[in-house]
Amino acid sequence: MIRSATLTLQPPLPPLAENSRLRLFSGSANPELSQEVARYLGMDLGPMVRKRFADGELYVQIQESIRGCDVYLMQPTCRPVNDHLMELLIMVDACRRASARQITAVIPYYGYARADRKTAGRESITAKLVANLITQAGASRILAMDLHSAQIQGYFDIPFDHVYGSPVIIDYLASKQLSDIVVVSPDVGGVARARAFAKKLDDAPLAIIDKRRHAHNVAEVMNVIGDVAGKTAVMVDDMIDTAGTICEGARLLRQQGARQVYACAIHPVFSPPALERLATGIFEEVIVTNTLPIDAAHHFPQLTVLSVANILGETIWRIHEDSSVSSMFR
């Protein structure tokens, strides 16, 4: 089920003046989200040609003058990650060469974010490499949503605005009037995120799932820290990839006596076999946002998709108007 976010942002945006220097362009990764953001801003997406040559090379051409404009390029670096990342770099370079005044890369989902540090010898810190690529291409500012690791902001030597999609999920959960909620972090690393989430849900109690990861995309759940018996467990994470961790955690919560289990995540990466795991009925509902596109054929009855277009649109407007972004989340 796809729902529009009920989050209301005040004050409402005035219509853009015809001579506004704000320009919004969309890459190919998630054009539906870009269209929603454009509607929120009361403007059209800028015209752009994208094509692929016979050998696989990408081509981008901006089809209107952007000289002296503040340009915002919408492109999550999702599957296929390398293609969408390269397309973003080419878009940035095209805008730089077209004499844009400021180029903001709007990245609702930042690919390679999990490679944010060395965990073994002779590994690349790919999150930093991607930051270098985007900066060197010519971006003058970054707008990203719910980074896997907040330290990635420090990998950039240009201004970075980090925003959150959790308000739309919290608003949706509040509308359901669930009782006896306990917010559950699927691992120790997500405790800060879950604690902030629980605080917004009337200071709901917190539980933590202790797990041990033995390999990439492989995790063994160990035990639950906290009381979940007879409660509505709301599992909170930044993304759902293969869904192995969150589904194993849900089974453990059921074994510990949880009455209902909900899964909440900002980024629905949904790498195989995530859909098969999530659709087994172990969750009452799987609540995600539209930072990444989800093909209609991959929807399942328990899935709810909320839109973050209003948050991104409001943030773009505030950046353009030199207004505070952080005050949106207070």
Q: How confident is the model at residue 4 (pLDDT cuts 50, 70, 90)?
A: very low
Q: Does domain 166-307 have CATH number 3.65.10.10?
A: no
Q: Over 70: is that where the pLDDT of 6 sits?
A: no
Q: Over 90: is that where the pLDDT of 206 sits?
A: yes
Q: How confident is the model at residue 19 (pLDDT cuts 50, 70, 90)?
A: low
Give dist(CA 153, CA 142) in Å, integer.
9
CA distances from 290 to 22, 37, 209, 275, 299 (A): 23, 12, 26, 16, 13
Whether the domain at 7-164+310-329 and the domain at 166-307 fall into the same CATH topology: yes
Q: How many helices (H) and strands (E) does the chain have?
A: 8, 15
Q: Over 90: is that where the pLDDT of 10 sits?
A: no
Q: Are strands 22-26 and 70-74 parallel, antiparallel or unpaired?
A: parallel
As annotated, the active-site residues are 211
12 within 8 A of 274, measured Cβ to Cβ: no
Q: What is the pLDDT of residue 221?
A: 56
Q: Which amino acid makes up residue 17?
A: A
Q: Which CATH number fits domain 7-164+310-329: 3.40.50.2020, 3.40.50.150, 3.40.190.10, 2.60.40.10?
A: 3.40.50.2020
- What residue spans define the domains of the chain? 7-164+310-329, 166-307
This prediction has a pTM of 0.91
Q: What is the pLDDT of residue 319?
A: 96
Point out the least confidently predicted range of 15-24, 180-189, 236-245. Answer: 15-24
For residue 210, the cross-strand partners are 223
Q: What is the pLDDT of residue 13?
A: 58
Give dist(CA 235, CA 81) in Å, integer.
27
Please provide the distance, in angstroms rounded to a whole number, between the alpha carbons at the two ends of the chain. 29
Q: Over 70: is that where the pLDDT of 200 sits?
A: yes
Q: How confident is the model at residue 30 (pLDDT cuts 50, 70, 90)?
A: very high
How does pLDDT run across 252-309, given as a tens digit for each residue? 999 999 999 999 999 999 999 999 999 999 999 999 999 999 988 889 999 999 999 9
CA 73 to chain centre: 15
Q: What is the pLDDT of residue 211?
A: 73
